[in-house]
């Protein structure tokens, strides 16, 4: 982020102690007695709706019962058998829109069982013992390439390895983890958890990770399908959509994804510059993460500007309320039309919007908001040229991730369908792994 000569953007707006406090764990982990009390609230429903609401089909009543009976390691194995990244998902999954929203306690009392925090309690308990709950099957002799070390790629690799296959993961970054390492708010994943989870996951054996390798410049699908029995693409979405307005090129206008990545990798948060007046354009989780973290870094005024109404925001209502609780202003039905300033951003001009006949249009009425830093968080695009059939802007798939090319599967954000959640990516990677293994070996 080149902001050294941008007025209004400065580092060290807060001292190190304030920043450490601001970026502490968003939700403190449950103590054993707290977990026992939380687990006792579960009705252990037959045909539990929370299971149906979980994209990875975790047997939630079973793992909560195991916690309540004092066997958190067994609970962890129940979770991890379906979701090997259950530790991270317990931290970042929008449980308020998934399992907890479906909880009978939520429907009856307005207060669900704390499924996410209980999941974290169980998985953390096991991981702290440095124990891997699964062992590898006999070697199949098959070798699979996985492109992308994010949630989908890691999930796929682990299941393939557990079934006895050899896996090589290629990733363009210097660290594995994908969005878990680079793309989520720092207060959601503290103490280098993403890296520790990758190390723990690969203890299953049979997985090699090679960083600094990108599809295109460093390898091709033709070469990979020649060298490997199968390929799983989990390359994510590398491109960020432009604002496409006058002034988009001014200093101070940046990608929210790059800002979050730089923040997540910063050794010293006092060295990270942030604007005095920050405006984030977008309505998803990335927009909220960028806005809240700007505020935590010491920005005075932070605004999220979204072109549609509140209900259309892809960020959950919980995330919206989290932003508001940190002093972020949420503006709805506004879209950017220009960034003003002499070389550097000083204001952003927004036009009010309305929906007519299902189509979003501007009203012609505009306003200006002070903005020395503007973050784009309006969606990402596929940058890898795979030569595969596309469904819109993503790779077209059928079944459990099968693409238009034999030997090649895809999952996660780069594949069509799904809802771009970590937990969904994990499910897609797991299911593709089972399909790959069955295709190559005949059975699971």
Residue 423: which CATH number? 3.50.50.60
- 423 with 337, same domain? no
> What share of the chain has pLDDT > 70, as a percent?
99
- pLDDT tens-digit profile of 76-92? 999 999 999 999 999 99
Same-domain check for residues 230 and 262? no
Q: Rounded distance, CA 424 to CA 427, Å?
A: 5
Is residue 10 situated within a structural domain?
no
Angle at 393 between CA 177 and CA 1, to 5 degrees: 50
Range of the domain at 402: 143-238+382-441
Measured CA to CA, the distance from residue 210 to residue 220 in angstroms comes to 15
User: Is residue 5 very low, low, confident or very high in pLDDT (cuts 50, 70, 90)?
Assistant: low
Kindly state whether residue 61 falls inside one of the protein's structural domains: yes
Indicate whether 339 and 302 sit together in one domain. Answer: yes
Same domain, 367 and 254: yes
Choose one of 127, 161, 177: the last residue of a domain. 127
Q: pLDDT per residue over 245-292, tens digit each? A: 999 999 999 999 999 999 999 999 999 999 999 999 999 999 999 999
Please say which residue of 376, 404, 425 terminates a domain. 376
| CA–CA separation, 91 and 185 (whole Å) | 11
Q: Indicate whether 203 and 170 sit together in one domain.
A: yes
Residue 38 in any domain: the answer is: yes
Mean pLDDT of 202-214: 97
What is the rounded CA–CA span in Å between residue 269 and residue 294?
A: 11
Predicted pLDDT at 167: 98
Same domain? For 247 and 363 the reply is yes
Q: Looking at the structure, tell me whether residues 349 and 420 fall in a common domain.
A: no
Summarised one tens digit per residue, pLDDT across range 219-257 is 999 999 999 999 999 999 988 888 999 999 999 999 999
Position 279 in a domain: yes
In this predicted structure, what is the pLDDT of residue 443? 76
Whole-angstrom distance, CA of residue 302 vs CA of residue 305: 10
pLDDT score of 6 = 79
pLDDT of 205 higher than 60: yes
Same domain, 323 and 412: no
Return d(Cα 279, Cα 330) in angstroms, integer: 10
- Residue 23 in any domain: the answer is no
Task: Tell me what pLDDT residue 10 has.
Answer: 96
Residue 250 shares a structural domain with residue 226: no
pLDDT average, residue stretch 6-11: 90
pLDDT band for position 49 (cuts 50, 70, 90)? very high
CB-CB contact of 145 with 168 (8 Å):
yes
| Res. 1: pLDDT tops 60 | no
> Is there a domain that residue 5 lies in?
no
Q: How far apart are CA 73 and CA 78, in angstroms?
A: 9
Final residue before a domain boundary, out of 103, 127, 151:
127
429 and 415 in a common domain: yes
pLDDT, tens only, 308-367: 999 999 999 999 999 999 999 999 999 999 999 999 999 999 999 999 888 999 999 999
Q: Is residue 329 part of a domain?
A: yes
Total of domains in the chain:
3
Provide the CATH number for the domain around residue 61: 1.10.1060.10
pLDDT in tens, 132-162: 999 999 999 999 999 999 999 999 999 999 9
Residue 82 lies in a domain: yes
Quote the CA–CA distance of 352 and 334 in Å, as a whole number: 4
The reply to whether 73 and 150 lie within a common domain is no
Say if residue 275 is in the same domain as residue 218.
no
Please give the C-alpha separations between residue 207 and each of 154, 199, 306, 340, 391, in angstroms, as whole numbers.
Answer: 10, 11, 42, 50, 31
Q: Provide mean pLDDT across the span 369-380.
A: 96
* 64-122 pLDDT tens trace: 999 999 999 999 999 999 999 999 999 999 999 999 999 999 999 999 999 999 999 99
């Amino acid at each position: 982020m080149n902001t050294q000569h941008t007025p209004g953007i400065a580092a060290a707006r807060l001292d190190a102690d304030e920043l450490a406090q601001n970026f502490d764990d968003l939700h403190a982990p449950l103590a054993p007695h707290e977990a026992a009390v939380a687990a006792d609230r579960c009705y252990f429903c037959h045909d539990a709706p929370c299971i149906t609401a979980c994209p990875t089909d975790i047997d939630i009543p079973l793992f909560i019962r195991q916690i309540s009976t004092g066997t958190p390691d067994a609970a962890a194995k129940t979770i991890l058998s379906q979701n090997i990244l259950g530790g991270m998902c317990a931290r970042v999954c929008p449980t308020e829109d998934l399992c907890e929203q479906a909880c009978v306690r939520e429907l009856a009392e307005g207060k669900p069982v704390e499924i996410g925090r209980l999941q974290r309690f169980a998985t953390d308990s096991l991981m702290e013992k440095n124990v891997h709950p699964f062992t590898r099957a006999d070697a199949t002799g098959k070798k699979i390439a996985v492109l992308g070390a994010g949630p989908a790629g890691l999930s796929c690799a682990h299941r393939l390895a557990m079934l006895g296959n050899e896996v090589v993961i290629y990733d363009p970054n210097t660290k594995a983890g994908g969005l878990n390492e680079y793309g989520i708010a720092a207060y959601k994943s503290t103490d280098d958890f993403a890296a520790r989870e990758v190390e723990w996951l690969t203890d299953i054996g049979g997985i090699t990770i090679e960083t600094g390798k990108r599809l295109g410049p460093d390898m091709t699908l033709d070469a990979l399908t020649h060298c490997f029995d199968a390929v799983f693409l989990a390359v994510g979405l590398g491109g960020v959509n432009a604002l496409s307005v006058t002034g988009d090129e001014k200093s101070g206008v940046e990608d929210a994804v790059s800002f979050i990545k730089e923040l997540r990798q910063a050794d010293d948060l006092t060295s990270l510059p942030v604007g005095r007046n920050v405006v984030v354009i977008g309505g998803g989780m990335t927009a909220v993460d960028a806005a809240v973290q700007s505020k935590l870094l010491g920005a005075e005024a932070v605004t999220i500007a979204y072109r549609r109404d509140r209900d259309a925001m892809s960020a959950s209502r919980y995330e919206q309320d989290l932003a508001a609780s940190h002093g972020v202003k949420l503006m709805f039905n506004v879209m950017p039309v220009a960034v003003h300033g002499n070389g550097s951003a000083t204001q952003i001009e927004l036009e009010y919007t309305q929906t007519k006949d299902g189509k979003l249009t501007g009203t012609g009425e505009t306003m200006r908001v002070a903005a020395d830093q503007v973050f784009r968080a309006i969606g990402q695009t596929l940058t890898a040229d795979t030569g595969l059939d596309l469904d819109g802007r993503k790779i077209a798939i059928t079944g459990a991730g099968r693409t238009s090319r034999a030997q090649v599967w895809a999952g996660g954000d780069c594949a069509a369908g799904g809802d771009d959640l970590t937990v969904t990516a994990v499910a897609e990677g797991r299911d593709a792994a089972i399909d790959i293994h069955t295709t190559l070996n005949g059975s699971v």
